[in-house]
């Protein structure tokens, strides 16, 4: 996702940045306005000008206009369920050992946030096969993924991954669903030897069951981690970690597939 030209054209996605908590990912359309609680921004004030400058809203508030990046698209996706935080996406990507060209099975798709992140990293020659059993989620995910421009690297599959995985010899199976232990035997069949199983679960009981299933299926190098991210307020004379933080999102369990006999 290389950054485009620095001149904003009509139809381009732009990120209006007020501060870290107030950013807006919108499409610049000639003659139209975008309304915020700090006044509206006229796209005609933006189009044809370079990215990276300030634009004034009708209330005189400055927004910086940025070309959106992959993290912006992920953060702005519509979702009803809890979505993965960037810290967990980052570790899942790392622990799955994937990269450009990787073939991945993912389940469940959910809102498509992790799906899009995976697609971003495996493009242009890799593919993400993403299973989701709830039809309405598949539709929302499709729209979310299309907006990122990564749809061609994703195959959305409406279906229950605990019933079967059609793909074979995949590089990684990545799970964010309620019963990952039920998918472990299927993941074992779908994976290449040495391929990565990675699963995200909020509770320790899910993590224990998944770990036991991995052991039973002769995975090795099984490990579980939890990532705690602290945001630091950095300001001369007032530097300190932020008062409120996300204390827990989930545990990440990973393992390698073997050919060891049962």
Binders of its own copies in range 61-120 (CB under 8 A): 64, 66-67, 69-71, 86-87, 89-91, 93-95, 97, 99-103, 120
Size of the site for its own copies (CB under 8 A): 86
* Structural tokens at position 238: 């007032």
Compare residues 161 and 191 and give the one whose CB is closer to its own copies: 191
Q: Which of 37, 136, 260, 262 binds its own copies (CB under 8 A)?
A: 260
The yes or no reply on residue 223 touching its own copies (CB under 8 A) is: yes
Q: Which of 166, 168, 216, 221 binds its own copies (CB under 8 A)?
A: 221
Distance, in Å, from the CA atom of 117 to the CA atom of 172, rounded to the nearest integer, reads 14
User: Of the listed pieces 39-47, 136-144, 156-164, 254-262, which binds its own copies according to CB under 8 A?
Assistant: 254-262
The yes or no reply on residue 124 touching its own copies (CB under 8 A) is: yes
Distance, in Å, from the CA atom of 111 to the CA atom of 73, rounded to the nearest integer, reads 12
Do the beta carbons of residue 260 and residue 214 sit within 8 Å?
no
Kindly provide the b/e burial profile for residues 136-175, where b requires at least 16 CB atoms within 10 angstroms of the residue's own CB.
Answer: ebbebbbebbebbbbbebbebbeeebbeebebeebbbbbb
Do the beta carbons of residue 116 and residue 89 sit within 8 Å?
no
Taking CB under 8 A as the criterion, which residues in 137-156 touch its own copies? Answer: none
Distance, in Å, from the CA atom of 36 to the CA atom of 164, rounded to the nearest integer, reads 46
The yes or no reply on residue 247 touching its own copies (CB under 8 A) is: yes
Compare residues 50 and 164 and give the one whose CB is closer to its own copies: 50
Q: Report the nearest approach of its own copies to the CB of residue 222 (Å).
A: 8
Compare residues 163 and 204 and give the one whose CB is closer to its own copies: 204
Distance, in Å, from the CA atom of 196 to the CA atom of 33, rounded to the nearest integer, reads 47
Q: Which of 37, 60, 136, 230 binds its own copies (CB under 8 A)?
A: 230
CB atoms within 10 A of CB 133: 17
Compare residues 31 and 237 and give the one whose CB is closer to its own copies: 237
Compare residues 124 and 164 and give the one whose CB is closer to its own copies: 124
Taking CB under 8 A as the criterion, which residues in 34-53 touch its own copies? Answer: 50-53
By CB atoms closer than 10 A (0-12, 13-18, 19+), residue 224 is middle
Here's the x/- map for its own copies, 154-193, by CB under 8 A: it reads as -----------------x--------------------xx
Distance, in Å, from the CA atom of 164 to the CA atom of 161, rounded to the nearest integer, reads 5
Residue reference for tokens 């490990």: 223
């Amino acid at each position: 996702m290389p950054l485009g030209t620095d001149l904003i054209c009509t139809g381009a996605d732009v990120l209006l940045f007020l501060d870290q908590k107030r950013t807006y990912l919108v499409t610049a359309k000639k003659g139209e306005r975008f309304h915020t609680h700090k006044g509206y921004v006229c796209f005609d004030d933006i189009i044809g000008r370079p990215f990276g400058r300030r634009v004034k809203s009708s209330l005189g508030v400055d927004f910086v206009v940025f070309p959106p990046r992959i993290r912006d698209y992920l953060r702005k996706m519509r979702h009803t369920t809890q979505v993965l935080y960037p810290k967990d996406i980052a570790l899942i990507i790392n622990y799955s050992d994937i990269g450009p060209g990787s073939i991945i099975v993912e389940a469940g798709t959910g809102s498509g946030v992790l799906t899009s992140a995976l697609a971003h990293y495996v493009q242009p020659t890799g593919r993400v096969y993403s299973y989701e059993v709830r039809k309405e989620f598949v539709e929302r995910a499709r729209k979310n993924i299309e907006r990122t421009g990564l749809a061609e690297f994703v195959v959305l599959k409406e279906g229950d991954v605990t019933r079967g995985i059609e793909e074979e010899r995949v590089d990684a199976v990545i799970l964010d669903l309620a019963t990952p232990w039920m998918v472990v035997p299927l993941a074992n069949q779908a994976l290449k030897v040495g391929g990565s199983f990675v699963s995200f679960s909020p509770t320790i009981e899910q993590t224990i069951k998944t770990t036991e299933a991995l052991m039973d299926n002769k995975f090795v190098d099984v490990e579980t981690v939890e990532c705690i991210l602290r945001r630091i307020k950095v300001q001369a004379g007032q530097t300190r970690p932020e008062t409120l933080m996300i204390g827990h999102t989930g545990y990440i369990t990973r393992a390698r597939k073997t050919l060891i006999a049962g």
